[in-house]
Structure 1
């Protein structure tokens, strides 16, 4: 019993330490500037053209692969893994440098923050109802006698991944959400163009 209690306490302390590390890393990030947001937005149409030129497919990676080690939704950082070593990489670097970014990592970090802030703004108020709907869907799947155990598990795993992505994507820092407000119209327009 003492070992079990010590183990639980150790896990809680580890969680607190990781949380503190995450928040101190988040605090260390520079504020999103208008120049960086504009620079990032300006790259999107050019990168869309680059993707078409090189026939780069949007890999529909699973949601886990779009999360950074701290669990944050990081679609642009995850896309760097695919892009590095690709024949389009030099053209990609030219586009982002022209937009004022010194590295692919800087561009991806700004893009991830802009995207999280944008998604957070878009789903504000919808998150709790969507979560409740997904939890209800999980119950429906669990109680459905016409679905095999393996299928149930796969569906439930996908729903859990979706819930995790929604949580990660909707938890943008208030400063980032505020910084993107002047650019919401452009972001919405670009979002519709790529759908």
Structure 2
């Protein structure tokens, strides 16, 4: 039977879109105070402004890898932490660290860990209404994978593994600490605006 890479790529892209809607991020110990949340939002906006022209920072912290027919899952547990790792040892890292320190963070790692927590709590709130539909979408996607005559057994196995990771992501997206969720609720509009701008 002839292969259909375009169908495979389309199915893989669909899975990534589901996953990008769910990105769970790890929490760290310590209070997520209102001051810290405001500081993160302000620092994220400052970073976007500072690096807007030279684009030394990644344009999109959540940009998926290119689809070459062998899709790999991004590590959604450390989006901000992973984003800064590529800058380590560069002038851009030092510049970014100076910006976040001016907003009350000990260093860039401290800032990224806070961002991970905030994003997890934000996604938990976003998932409050969307979880049932996302679950149905994933079940439908799994059925389409299983029933597709255009995917090889190997391709189906890859897609099932990715779907298993997606289902794990749903569970983690709903498991942010209640105190972190409560901490960011008063800042949702400002946080949403900053994160959307960061992804543009």
TM-score range, shorter chain: 0.7 to 0.9
CA distance, structure 1, for counterparts of residue 55 and residue 92 of structure 2: 7
Alignment correspondent of 1:111: 115
CA distance, structure 1, for counterparts of residue 168 and residue 50 of structure 2: 31
Over 3 Å counting, the alpha-carbon distance change for 1:147 and 1:181 in structure 2 is same
The alignment status of 1:91 with 2:92, answered yes or no, reads no
Q: Which has the larger radius of gyration?
A: 1
Contact 1:64 1:161 in 2 (8 A): no
CA distance, structure 2, for counterparts of residue 138 and residue 192 of structure 1: 29
Over 3 Å counting, the alpha-carbon distance change for 1:76 and 1:134 in structure 2 is same
CA distance, structure 2, for counterparts of residue 153 and residue 86 of structure 1: 40
Contact 1:54 1:88 in 2 (8 A): no
Deviation at 1:149, TM superposition (A): 2.1
Q: Where does structure 2 lack aligned partners over 5 or more consecutive residues?
A: 1-26, 66-71
Over 3 Å counting, the alpha-carbon distance change for 1:189 and 1:56 in structure 2 is closer
CA distance, structure 1, for counterparts of residue 174 and residue 51 of structure 2: 27
Deviation at 1:50, TM superposition (A): 4.1
Over 3 Å counting, the alpha-carbon distance change for 1:192 and 1:79 in structure 2 is closer
Deviation at 1:140, TM superposition (A): 1.7
**Secondary structure of the corresponding residue to residue 124 of structure 1:** helix
Considering Cα pairs closer than 8 Å and 6+ residues apart, tell me whether 1 or 2 has the greater RCO.
2
CA distance, structure 2, for counterparts of residue 80 and residue 131 of structure 1: 32
Q: Where does structure 1 lack aligned partners over 5 or more consecutive residues?
A: 1-25, 68-73
Alignment correspondent of 2:19: none
Deviation at 1:51, TM superposition (A): 4.2
Alignment correspondent of 2:132: 128
Contact 1:75 1:112 in 2 (8 A): yes
CA distance, structure 2, for counterparts of residue 77 and residue 190 of structure 1: 17
CA distance, structure 2, for counterparts of residue 111 and residue 146 of structure 1: 41
TM-score (norm: length of structure 1) = 0.73
The alignment status of 1:102 with 2:97, answered yes or no, reads no
TM-score (norm: length of structure 2) = 0.71
CA distance, structure 2, for counterparts of residue 47 and residue 162 of structure 1: 30
Q: Higher helix fraction: Structure 1 or Structure 2?
A: 1
Question: How is 1:28-107 mapped onto 2 (pairs within 5 angstroms)?
Answer: 29-52=29-52, 53-57=54-58, 58=60, 60=64, 63-67=73-77, 74-107=78-111
4+ runs deviating over 4 angstroms: 61-64
